[in-house]
């Protein structure tokens, strides 16, 4: 429909860990904690899904995290590497729209795909195409959500984390979007 906003939220869950696993595939499937080692006040910068399930959380004192998840592989943060990976992610997104907003080195991108349909096809197709490109070219496995605004797209990403996709239909006149109307799936 003409005039409907289409905001794509692309999210690489546990971004620092995902980038580290791309650099070292031996880390896949293992609990990983990214934090500055050797500091008495060190805090968890990021953690893998496996470490999360063991109780580790971002911002948690490192000593406590390592008690909760004894077999976690501890890696020092490499912000430069994460910024380069984020820039590569943004470059792929810029192929489809100049309206890209990136949260610095967090793995979150917002693309305004409103009005790009004649050039690239429906926003859902763009989302799937970009997903495949990021997966094959960068080795990252993002989730994506498509909604009428950033807030709804971001909230929807919480429903499908750590893997998946979700299309939130635009609200009808006088009626808000209902989760039963959403189309979850996996590409």
3-state DSSP percent of the chain in helix, strand and coil, to 5: 40, 20, 40
**Domain segments of the chain as ranges:** 7-14+79-185, 16-75
In the set 49, 50, 104, 133, the catalytic residue is: 104
State residue 178's pLDDT score. Answer: 52
Domain 7-14+79-185 in CATH 3.30.70.270: yes
CA angle 50, 55, 60 (to 5 degrees): 110
For the chain, where are the E strands, in sequence order?
7-11, 32-34, 46-47, 73-75, 100-102, 108-112, 143-147, 165-167, 183-185
13-62 pLDDT, tens digit per residue, is 899 999 999 999 999 999 999 999 887 789 999 999 999 999 999 999 99
d(CA 118, CA 120): 6
Question: Hey, which residues does 172 pair with through a beta bridge?
Answer: 175
State residue 187's pLDDT score. Answer: 37
Give yes or no for a contact between 47 and 14, defined as CB atoms under 8 angstroms apart.
Answer: yes
**What 8-state DSSP symbol labels residue 11?**
E
Q: Are strands 143-147 and 165-167 parallel, antiparallel or unpaired?
A: parallel
Q: Does 137 participate in catalysis according to the annotation?
A: no
Q: Which of 30, 37, 29, 32 is nearest to 15 (CA)?
A: 32
Residues of the chain with pLDDT under 70: 1-3, 105, 162, 172-187
Task: Select the CATH number that applies to the domain covering 16-75 from these four: 3.40.50.300, 3.40.640.10, 3.40.50.1000, 3.40.1170.60.
Answer: 3.40.1170.60
State residue 169's pLDDT score. Answer: 82
């Amino acid at each position: 429909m003409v005039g409907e906003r289409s905001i794509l939220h692309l999210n690489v869950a546990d971004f620092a860990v995902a980038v580290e696993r791309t650099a070292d595939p031996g880390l896949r499937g293992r609990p990983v904690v990214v934090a500055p080692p050797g500091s008495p006040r060190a805090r968890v910068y990021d953690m893998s899904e496996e470490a999360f399930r063991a109780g580790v959380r971002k911002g948690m004192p490192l000593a406590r995290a390592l008690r909760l998840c004894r077999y976690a592989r501890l890696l020092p943060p490499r912000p430069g590497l994460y910024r380069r990976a984020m820039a590569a992610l943004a470059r792929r997104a810029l192929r489809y729209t100049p309206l890209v907003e990136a949260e610095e080195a967090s793995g979150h991108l917002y693309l305004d795909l409103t009005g790009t349909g004649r050039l690239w096809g429906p926003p859902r197709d763009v989302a799937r195409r970009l997903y495949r490109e990021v997966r094959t070219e960068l080795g990252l496995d993002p989730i994506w959500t498509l909604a009428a605004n950033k807030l709804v797209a971001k909230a929807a990403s919480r429903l499908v984390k750590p893997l998946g996709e979700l299309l939130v239909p635009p609200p009808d006149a006088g009626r808000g979007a209902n989760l039963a109307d959403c189309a979850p799936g996996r590409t």
